[in-house]
Amino acid sequence: MKIILEHENILLLQNSNKTKSPTVKIVPSQNEAIANWNASSRISPVFKIEGFSNHHLDRYDFPGEKYLLFLGPIHPEQILSYCSSKSHIWISHGLYNLLIVPPDKSELNKLLGVIKKKKIPCEYWKLQSGVIKSIRNHGNTPHSTEWRNSLSELARRSFPVELRETIREYCPLMASTLSRSVSLPDYISSEFNGTSNSLTELFKSFSSTSNSVEVTYRNLSEVLTVNAGLSRYSSQTFAGTSPIIHTECHFWSNSLLGIGTTSIALRNIRAFLDKTLGKSRLPERFEKLKNVNKDIPDLSKIFPPNTDYLGNIKLDDTNLKPIVPLITYFSARDGYRSTQTTISAPLAAVSSCNCPRWSLMTLTHEFSHVIMRAILADIYPDLSNDNEIEECKSLMESNKPRSSLFHEIKHLCLFSAIKMEDADSFSGPSNNEKEYDIKDVLQRKRHDIDETMVHVFDFLYFYGKDVDRYVSGIWASWGVIPNVSTRVPEYVVRTICAVLSRHLQRSKGEDFAKEDVKKSLMKLKKSKLGGRYIQEALNLIESRWDPELFYLVRARRQLVKIVTSFIFSNQIATDIRSELKISGGAGRKKGYTLKQGVLELKPIDNPIMFIESFANSAQPSAAISAWLFYVLAFCLED
């Protein structure tokens, strides 16, 4: 079964201007739907499938008596074998992702029998010339409602005045999400129950009235972040579930059926990253370096031995806290972004993720931020705590060997902040007599240290040190960010720092890394896939490498060393980049037997490898993007 690739059509629901009754039809394009818009109008893109009688129809008014079935979430291959070629079939982004108009009542009854037997969620409309005459649905199996007790208890608690309204918002928002999650596959709704329990218990701890103002506002920020992500997730995922005509998605180009299937795909990518990198427990492994307390080297002077430090550390699973899954959602404003509790992708990816500019590979960078934040939280002092600042000063001023490998790494990271401060003013290596306000320096450099280490982490774990793929991936995605021209220099520096991880044992490693990046940018420019900042980046490398950019990269060299030697693990990276469901063969993309645009229920193990292989079209395509999301939603083995 193949999606028709030319373009999408639009499913339009609105009250008739004549009868005021809800009417449905398929129109060729969004602009036609807008031209006939009224206050009740809602739309969603739909895609035709080869082999059915609506193959050549861009417009359909549901003439005479018809039945329109909405069912899902389900891979089309699991149901379409029960449909004759006379059926009209469309797929959508919604949880009801399959739309079927049977040719007669006999086939309708046969389909309804299959749907009931397979327990597929379904709603179907009886239509007369497109006007909805009756609506029926086959409901979902109710899930546990134990969450009601914990949310009710949270709602009864007293909170500082700054938090009251956000908690009042969270309780019904989470209750609504959980009660509607019956529309999701059991394994996802069960996971969301776990997320709810963890967040609810966390928020209960915020009820303390003894917290400082700073802690209270930090808690407020966390609840606001959860509410924003949860609100988008709920609206996008559950719009278009039964009863369809009473729900609405605020992603207005998908306001009728929502993007539930696409949300499942995004969740599945996050779940894979949890299952591989998340469950590797890198922050917990890194903390164990505090126990390495013999023969501590001066890392500023030597390159550490080629040892897989984190991979060799054994953890006691019984003492580990459970991983709380991040809430996933799409956002035009946030784009690709992660926090302690959420991770988002741009709305543009829904119709354009088939090309590098909006590739879902960028999620790896955001997930890297989640890991690195946890590690840096251990290394970096709490800048509001004077005792921790004094401990940092003592660590930096002492000439004695550090007490553990962890503290030697911390010492290296803190001194990198000083070197970065110097490099910003072209003063070169730091002058020992120069006075620094350590707190101010650490405050200013925190974001830059985080970004530098995240870029190295992403390059090593997810791109396998492949310079061309890494440079093309990140620079293509940067090309669609508005108003970032002033940030191009810092992007150049971070890119070269990532590639420097390949050349750390060379005395002129920075120069080798710079040349690697320059060559990749020139290839990207030639391919015309890199976006508008490529030439600007090349000009910067050519005109400002010596001394400005060189000093900026050199100042970050020890940060690159920390990630490469003490946070990267070959053993763990192998799991992230493995794919068991591939085989050789001419014309296959990296061994996949999947064909782009063809709806086949063939399993994949690794969504990152799949995206890397297929999200490389020169131009965005809504249909190919839909195919990518269908594979990620239905073919990824959980």
DSSP string, 477-534: HHTTSTT-GGGHHHHHHHHHHHHHTTSTTSTTHHHHHHHHHHHHHHHHHHHT-S-TTH
Top-ranked range on mean pLDDT: pick from 7-11, 125-129, 135-139: 125-129
- For residues 247 and 241, the answer to whether their CB atoms sit within 8 Å is yes
Per cent of the chain over pLDDT 90 is: 63
- Strand-strand pairing, 342-345 and 9-15: unpaired
Instruction: Identify the band that residue 581 occupies on the pLDDT scale cut at 50, 70 and 90.
Output: low
Identify the pLDDT of residue 592. Answer: 83
For the chain, percent of residues with pLDDT exceeding 70: 94
Pairwise CA distance, residues 233 & 329, whole Å: 5
Q: Is this prediction's pTM over 0.85? A: yes
As a whole number of angstroms, the distance between CA 100 and CA 104 comes to: 12
Residue from 576, 572, 575 nearest 312 by CA: 572
Q: What is the Cα–Cα distance from 607 to 610, expressed in whole angstroms?
A: 5
C-beta separation of 615 from 353 below 8 A: yes
pLDDT band per the 50, 70, 90 thresholds, residue 432: low
The predicted pLDDT at position 294 comes to 84
Distances (CA, A) of 14 to 40, 42, 43, 105, 348: 5, 6, 9, 26, 25
Q: Six-digit token pair at 222? A: 């966390």
161's tokens: 């005045």
**What is the tens place of the pLDDT at every residue in 151-204?**
999 999 999 999 999 999 999 999 999 999 888 888 888 888 889 999 998 998
**What pLDDT score does 587 carry?**
42
Contact 599/49 with Cβ under 8 angstroms?
yes
Q: What tokens were used for 58? A: 């861009």
Q: How far apart are CA 291 and CA 407, in angstroms?
A: 10
Average pLDDT over all residues of the chain: 89
- Above 50 in pLDDT, residue 419? yes
Q: pLDDT-based confidence at 589, cuts 50/70/90?
A: low
Collapsing DSSP to helix, strand or coil, 21 comes out as coil
Burial-class residue 638 by CB neighbours within 10 Å (0-12, 13-18, 19+). Answer: exposed
Range 399-409 average pLDDT = 89
Contact (Cβ atoms closer than 8 angstroms) between residue 100 and residue 69? yes
Each residue's pLDDT tens digit, 489-501 = 999 999 999 999 9
On the question of pLDDT at 425 being above 90, the answer is: no
The span from the CA of 202 to the CA of 166, in Å, is 14
DSSP string of 205-222, one letter each residue: GGG-SSS-HHHHHHHHHH
Q: Does 634 have pLDDT greater than 60? A: yes
Q: What is the DSSP letter of 281?
A: T
pLDDT classification of 413: cutoffs 50, 70, 90: very high
pLDDT at residue number 590: 62
End-to-end CA gap in the chain: 24
In this model, does residue 3 exceed pLDDT 70?
A: no
Name 47's bridge partners: 91
pLDDT at 478 over 70: yes
Q: Which two tokens stand for residue 512?
A: 């080798």
Three-class DSSP labels, 295-314? CCCCCCCCCCCCCCCCCCCC
| Region at 585 (left for phi over 0; alpha for psi -120 to 50; beta for the rest) | left
Give the model's pLDDT for residue 141.
65
Bridge-partner residues for 343, per DSSP? 328, 338
| Structure token digits, residue 595 | 């064909």
Looking at residue 142, its pLDDT comes to: 66
Residue 320 or 226, more confident:
226
Burial 54-91 (b: 16+ CB within 10 A, else e): beeebebebeeebbbbbbbbbbbeebbebbeeebbbbb
Q: Is residue 130's pLDDT more than 70?
A: yes
- Give every strand in the sheet of 327-330, ordered side by side: 327-330, 342-345, 337-338
Which has more pLDDT, 109 or 207? 109
Q: Residue 586's pLDDT band (boundaries 50, 70, 90)?
A: very low
In the numeric block, the tokens 């999408």 are attached to 8
Question: Token digits for 630?
Answer: 């269908």
